[in-house]
Structure 1
Amino acid sequence: MKKDDIRRNIKARKTLLSEEEKQAAAEQVFSLLEQTAEFMLSDRILMYHSLPDELSTRAFIRKWCGRKHFYVPRVNGVNLEILPYDESRLSLGSFHIEEPTGTDTSSVDEMEMIVVPAVAYDRSGNRVGRGKGYYDRLLAGSRARKVGVAYDFQLVDEIEADPHDVQVDVVITQNNHIVIRKYRH
């Protein structure tokens, strides 16, 4: 299936979810994530700040914010910058996503784990994003552990990977914890 077809199918499936289903799924997925060695051993974690149609990261960030150092991306032209998460320093940015304000950017090299959003994943760690390539550019040289989180239906049979696509190391859905590459801390 082509990436645009996957995007269309997943978008349609997401519209059928109730708020209760969305919340329950986020709780399940992030509960699985916090039990992983990747999460337990990581202190500096880049999280995405969720859009309404994505698994919500807000409760998870609030729960762990005092014990982990969270960072969130900010769009800067065609690239993403990384800034520390501070709920009091968020403003509506590109694509109507709350983004951090300030100038205290960090390097992707400082991150130990990156929770990567996507429209879909496959069992080989390939992902379909929204089509702009922001995360592929950000992840290209990163040695951080890359973890994809998604609803069960976002796990598809196969995604055709392009040469510039960056795979994730782990995919977690409500009922799946797929390790593609073993963790080396």
Structure 2
Amino acid sequence: METNTKGYLRKKILEERKELTKQDVCELSNDIVLNLISLPDFKRSEVIMVYLSFRNEVETFKLIRSMFGMGKTVVTSYTDKEKNILIPSKLKDLDKSLEKNPYGYLEPKKEALDPVEPKDIDLIIIPGLAFDKIGNRIGYGGGYYDKLLKQTKAIKVAVAYDFQIFPRVPSNKHDIPVNYIVTPKKIIMGREDNN
């Protein structure tokens, strides 16, 4: 099998991520969050969109609680499967505003949706499976984030474990690179020209 295809990298990372213990996820995520909140662009941003972590992804729930404490406006996404888009929605309450969708991950309840225009978001914390040192990313294959990122000038930040970073990953012209990749050990500058 080709070792540089998106499919191969997705499978490899999912297998490696599955091996992480809860303690690994917690400790590595804490280090990532400390690096993330030290970013001047994060400190300056008032409206921040963040994914809701699922299945050993970099954990974001403690980060969200911290952002509420910092007075940030927290935005997360609702997946509109009919239109194949993400709807950014202001998150008011971690405990009351969310529910599990049919795919098993949390997202805003329909009645709790409070849509936010993509252009009004200052910074987006993006999930993904594999990244390279110039900001290219491989997501889960749905293209949801790429569609959203085309509508905003927000700073794009990926959070990742160190094993998710490669010298190069395949990218297409519709793939939107990120400005930063934050790992437990370092902050990688991606591309500054992708806003």
Question: Equivalent residue for 1:63?
Answer: 66
- Displacement after TM superposition at 1:181 (Å): 3.5
Write the letter of the residue equivalent to 2:31.
Q
Asked if residue 95 in structure 1 is aligned to residue 89 in structure 2, the reply is no
Question: Equivalent residue for 2:79?
Answer: 75
Q: CA contact under 8 A between 2:161 and 2:184: conserved in structure 1?
A: yes
| Residue deviations 1:71-103 (CA, integer Å, cap 9, x gap) | 100101200001111211111125322111234
Residue ranges of structure 1 left out of the alignment (5+ in a row): none
Of the structure 1 ranges 59-68 and 111-120, higher mean CA displacement relative to structure 2 is found in: 59-68
C-alpha spacing 1:166/1:107, structure 2 compared with 1 (3 Å): same
Matched position secondary structure for 1:62 = helix
TM-score (norm 1): 0.94
Q: CA contact under 8 A between 2:177 and 2:190: conserved in structure 1?
A: no
Question: Equivalent residue for 2:145?
Answer: 135
- Displacement after TM superposition at 1:114 (Å): 0.2
RMSD over aligned CA atoms reads 1.4
**Match of residue 6, structure 2, among 3, 7, 14:** 3
Matched position secondary structure for 2:174 = coil
TM-score (norm 2): 0.90
Write the letter of the residue equivalent to 1:64.
M
Q: CA contact under 8 A between 2:162 and 2:183: conserved in structure 1?
A: yes
Q: CA contact under 8 A between 1:75 and 1:94: conserved in structure 2?
A: no
Question: Equivalent residue for 2:121?
Answer: 111
d(CA) in 1 for partners of 2:165, 2:100: 30
C-alpha spacing 1:164/1:18, structure 2 compared with 1 (3 Å): same
Aligned pairs, number: 183
Residue ranges of structure 2 left out of the alignment (5+ in a row): none
**Match of residue 84, structure 1, among 78, 86, 90:** 90
